[in-house]
Amino acid sequence: MFEEILNTVKQHFAENPEIAQHIPADQQEAIHNEIATHVANNMPASGETGGGGAASGGGLLSGLFGKVEAAISSGNPIASAVEGGLVASLTSKFGLPAAATGAIAGALPGLLQKLMNKPATA
């Protein structure tokens, strides 16, 4: 599951150079790992959502990411705290400036949408 999230993070940033330009080239791999780790760590255990794959209606990824994306786009304080946790982590671990962390935080809803719509893999 982590590898799927990590690959999606890398793909999302590769497809969005306006976001990727804010990430120093020598830190890209570590930052991609940090983002993927943060997403994976904020997912509930598989039993909490009824199981299933990313493409199933009640699946782990679709359930979680649907809720998180809706919360982020609506300005939900809980989602903002999750987003803030990632921003704080990127700032403290990598010393990224506000422009970089802001671009990454702004990319989270699109990244979550991409993960939510990804077909399930075995």
Query: Which residues are CB-neighbours of 24 under 8 A, at least 6 positions away?
Result: 94
On whether the pTM is more than 0.95, the answer is: no
Give the whole-angstrom CA distance, residue 64 versus residue 35. 16
SS3 114: helix
Give the whole-angstrom CA distance, residue 117 versus residue 65. 9
**Residue 69 is inside which H or E element, if any?**
helix 60-73
pLDDT above 80: residue 50: no
- The reported pLDDT for the residue numbered 40 is 82
SS3 95: coil
Tens of pLDDT, residues 99-114 = 888 888 888 878 877 8
